[in-house]
Amino acid sequence: MVQTKTKVENNRKADYPIDPLFINRWSPRAFLEKEVPEEVLLSVFEAARWAPSGFNNQPWRFILARTKENLELFHSFILPGNLSWCKTAPALALIVSETETEQGPNPYHEFDAGTASGYLEIQAAKQGLSTHVMGGIDREKAREVLQIPEKFAIHSVIVIGYLGEKDTLPENLQEREQPNSRRPLNEILFEGKFNQTLIK
């Protein structure tokens, strides 16, 4: 664990003061086969519940798998490359969002679902958990297996658990098992017009 923290410090530096949580949270692939207590698990979904949403529609829904039977259902639609590492994780959650409201199509449902996912991931980090959001799934099979209505868009599976050792991963993934960096602020923040950088 100390080695991982050192890697985070070596690979990530904030240019402006922020809570260390944002630097230390990253998306590993090595997870321990260690159950997450229910109270801890529910707290991360409680955080997602409080995410903001357009017109307060709260279109996101999470389908959780943590029993052997339910995890096997999820494993049936996770693509092989992801299944090779995520099958040891104790909890998986599929995030979907309702595409329509009583007034008609909801153009914000994906944005809102992403915000809820971000809230979940930050709360998980505060609880000492690791998360990894993956899009490598067969969405049509997921819809069939989990009986998801057509009005819900299927997004990603969030892997939730405790950080494991990288040598438990397939060899081709071990070298990738480290926190990555981010674009500098002057590449993502503009002022006034697009590509008009604020920071010189």
Give the strands of the sheet with 130-134, arranged side by side.
60-65, 91-98, 152-161, 130-134
Is the pLDDT reported for residue 5 higher than 70?
no
CB 129 within 8 A of CB 93: no
Q: What are the tokens at 192?
A: 């006034």
**Range with the lowest mean pLDDT among 72-76, 156-160, 162-166, 176-180?**
176-180
Q: What are the tokens at 30?
A: 């090595």
Mean pLDDT for 1-13 is 59
pLDDT score of 12: 87
pLDDT grade for 113, boundaries at 50, 70 and 90: very high
Is the pLDDT reported for residue 3 higher than 70?
no
**Range with the lowest mean pLDDT among 78-82, 123-127, 152-156, 192-196?**
192-196
- Fold that domain 27-178 belongs to in CATH: NADH Oxidase (3.40.109)
Mean pLDDT for 108-117 is 98
Mean pLDDT for 146-160 is 98
Of 195, 180, 160, 175, the residue nearest 37 (C-alpha): 160
pLDDT score of 91: 98
pLDDT score of 11: 73
pLDDT score of 9: 64
Q: Map out the domains of the chain as residue ranges.
A: 27-178
Of 89, 93, 92, 27, the residue nearest 60 (C-alpha): 93
pLDDT score of 1: 41
pLDDT score of 7: 59
Model pTM?
0.92
CB 61 within 8 A of CB 98: yes
CB 130 within 8 A of CB 24: no
